[in-house]
Structure 1
């Protein structure tokens, strides 16, 4: 029989995995979410059954996208990892990351690419232009959706705090 903690961990794992994360990343976030305090790389390696180097590389990636937080305890050389346990805050951070790394660069770079394509005389440039313009419209829409979603989620979060 599985413990409640393991069932919860698996539920978190499935949720993270559904966001497009790989097996190890999903497992690490689920473990961190279900642990009461920060966990070292060595402990994560033992808990997942993955090598120390695989866990280390994945944690570097996850901390780089701000999904996990790394800290050091005074007097220790070991890194400790934890995860934001507020799902609304975690969701806002994920949306901001998508906006920062996908939408913002597209909105910045696509007008120049569109202009270059408009001035091109190569065969098929009109079809390419339509594809690029459609992508640009989608990025504009995503930008608006992300901004509204963040605003709405922050509003709900504030309402939950005042209850």
Structure 2
């Protein structure tokens, strides 16, 4: 197999993953290009690699930056923005993405609590059904927060995997 074919397979894999997650395939192609690159890439570099327009790439880049998979960097003396892929756990961990998730979890909890407060003193089977659903959502919310907080305590993927493997062996 040739190097170019291997790169094509990786790019297609990331594009397919993006599609499965409800994103444009372009998001996957951009991440693939950055993942395979040895140096930071500009929007025009990415456009050349992917064949998409700079305006489409710029829009998709906002998605990738928003979830912490891509980081924007500046090169001294160059006004253009360059981008690198977040390739490992510690880079992703240092991005603001997981803090955004925690903030979303906390905001969701506050909203559920406000909804429960609104139902105080209300009667009826529909009210009781909604209260139960909200209580279940609170439990899921708390589990999500605990899991994310626990995962983010690890310094590397290897450390996290060792702990997970150890837990699985105990089962």
> Which TM bucket (shorter chain)?
0.7 to 0.9
Report the equivalent of 1:103. 105
For 2:92 and 2:68, locate their aligned partners in 1 and report how far apart those are by CA, in whole Å.
11
Report the equivalent of 2:66. 64
Residue 26 of structure 2 is aligned with which of 19, 24, 32? 24
Report the equivalent of 1:141. 143
Contact 2:18 / 2:28 at 8 angstroms: preserved in 1? yes
Provide the TM-score with structure 2 as the length reference.
0.73
**Structure 2 segments unaligned to the other structure (5+ residues):** 162-171
Q: Does 1:154 align with 2:122?
A: no
Return closer, same or farther for 1:7/1:55 CA change in 2, 3 Å cut-off: same
- Across the aligned residues of Structure 1 and Structure 2, the Cα RMSD in angstroms comes to 3.1
Return closer, same or farther for 1:59/1:7 CA change in 2, 3 Å cut-off: same
Report the equivalent of 1:89. 90
1:95 CA displacement: 7.4
Number of aligned residue pairs: give it.
Answer: 158
Provide the TM-score with structure 1 as the length reference.
0.76
Report the equivalent of 2:55. 53
**Structure 1 segments unaligned to the other structure (5+ residues):** none
